Amino acid sequence: MTILSGRNKLRLTDFQKSMFRAGHAHAGVLVILSLIAQLFIDNIQQGASIEWMLRIGFPLAAILVSGGFFASASGRDVNSPNKSIVILYLGALVLAASLIILGVTLINSR
Per-residue pLDDT of the chain (110 residues; tens, 9 = 90+): 666 666 767 788 889 889 999 999 999 999 999 999 999 999 888 788 999 999 999 999 999 999 999 999 988 888 999 999 999 999 999 999 999 999 999 998 87
Domain span at residue 53?
A: 13-108
**Is 49 within a domain?**
yes
Alpha helices in 1-110 (DSSP H): 2-5, 14-41, 48-72, 85-108
**Is 8 within a domain?**
no
**Is 59 within a domain?**
yes
d(CA 5, CA 35): 30
**Is 6 within a domain?**
no
**Is 100 within a domain?**
yes
**Is 54 within a domain?**
yes
d(CA 23, CA 53): 24
Q: Which element (helix H / strand E) includes 77?
A: none
3-state secondary structure of 11: coil
**Is 72 within a domain?**
yes
Tally of domains within the chain? 1
**Is 56 within a domain?**
yes
d(CA 63, CA 26): 9
